[in-house]
Structure 1
Amino acid sequence: MASTLAPLSGFAKEHKSVRGYLDTAANSHGAEKGLLTHRALQRITSARPHLVEIGPDGGAAVSFLSSRLQQGQHGFAEIDLTLIEVPDVASGALTQAIQEFNRVGTCEVVRGFAQDIGTLLERQADVISASALLHEVYSYGGGYGGLHSLMRTLPTVL
């Protein structure tokens, strides 16, 4: 789907899609991001929680979360994870992380921009993880206009 804002101003898709970039450079804080998501998940009472991660990069947080969920009884009938990634940005490590997560739940990648989250999700989310999101939206998604759009939309999908 097309962004509701002006075209992205120079989003570095080429740089982020260079083989190996997301697999190494962007995976350094996966445990921290995954831990925060896991802690939020522990407060959810839904039998089938829906987690959303915006900008999964190389999938380190997805791998961390799946390992945590495999270690113990999580008490959910099913866990659904939706990853929102910019079109044309890919990672081999993310593909592996999705396979790992599919052992404990379901995981799908949706291509689009964070400020369009209201049209990207098929159902409401219980938890949204978006660690570096504001920087990216400001830099490439319309400056303060992109940030305002995103902040107005997030409560409607939670």
Structure 2
Amino acid sequence: MMKKVLITFILLLITLNGFANTINNIVVVDAYARETAKGQDVGAVYISLKNKGNKTVKFIGASTPIANTAQIHSMKMNNNISSMKHEQFLEVPANGELKLLPGESHIMLMGLKSPLIKGQTFPLNLHFEGLQDLKIEVPIKSINVDEMKDMKM
């Protein structure tokens, strides 16, 4: 009997967690940030946003209490030089996906109030044009050196 109650409880938590990361037909997949060094005042969030609706949605920004500013950035290569650009928005295509990946687009956290520590999480509010904000918890992962070798920089 206790085993059934425990299994039911775990399934309920998994279900509720899925609803917590979905709103307005937007589903958050694999959000994470990398740990930062002591004294480092910038960080980045990588995330995939799936749009299960039949209309394109504009992702217009993010906010978090752990940083002074959170901006959408894209990275471009020009003559073997990498540069970042602040974007006003990125589109999440209808029935499609927007991926913010290392070495590409990301959410830049500026003015971090404390280091991002592996194993912890922090709240992040995602803003969409004309839609309700989506509130998520972002896990902090260690820096993967092998992944960094493949970055487009």
TM over 0.5: no
TM-score by length of 1: 0.26
Structure with the greater alpha carbon radius of gyration: 2
Q: Point out the structure with the larger helix share.
A: 1
Q: Point out the structure with the larger strand share.
A: 2
TM-score by length of 2: 0.26
